[in-house]
Structure 1
């Protein structure tokens, strides 16, 4: 765990400990060593759940750690592949075990004609999740509908539709771009008015300030409000 300095002060950055990274890599390396004579497909099948499980469990700010692990794993797999074909040059070996998939030219994957290749997952493809700390004094029952709906998409005093839209909009009015305040009067608007064929579905709904809704309604020619 570390910190970096910003204009707003210090921010805590959580990363997997070096000890946990080493334990995980040692397990990956052991699996590769145990599969020296096994087909590539068997090795990938054994490694993928280990990589996926550890990466999902460690989804904190870990891009550097994930990249380091992938580099170490590549070196281990390179040694594994060269051990299997000691008399072949590296170009032949790499072409046999690494494939181009999408924009990535170095995917450890099987080569199967007419079939989707079985590919090894990388640690770095796991999405990074940054968690926002709940304010220490906050409670879903403190009446702060805007805060909790924007954060969690639900609130005991808000309809599901209102809470969901507040979360999708991250607590901002899509007309003026300003954050909603507790004292603001909010209204649900159909982006494309129902009178013009708009549907009553989330992708066609937004929450606006009442005055923003009035401006929008005047502009789109719709005289009907939906709340």
Structure 2
């Protein structure tokens, strides 16, 4: 039960990590208290093992208030500054994808268009070997370009 509950609680906490939730009526205290009662009623559990289950079910997520990145000056997604918006959106991806985006100047390796928030960015292995994670082998491309590339390969 604790293993099923942990991802839900972690997701809820990550979603609200920029909000100050101290004393909020939507805090997790009531849910954790109810879970403690349910876990403690099981015959195999005592209060110490129940406490360990609660710690597993309610993992801590760091809280950071006011960490939103403000949009610079009077920028707008409709002003045509594709470089600014693609660079800003590249921060949403993990290390390898972000590095590939910077190396390619935030452009798709397949079609050459700028990578914006309209479509997800996929990491493509140029040699087809998914175990080869060298930076020369990794290309950032649009999700549709990636699908089109692999459709063409499987048909031939």
Q: State the TM-score, normalizing by the size of structure 2.
A: 0.41
Q: State the TM-score, normalizing by the size of structure 1.
A: 0.29
More strand by share: 1
Query: Higher relative CO (CA 8 A, sep ≥ 6), structure 1 or 2?
Result: 2
Larger Rg: 1
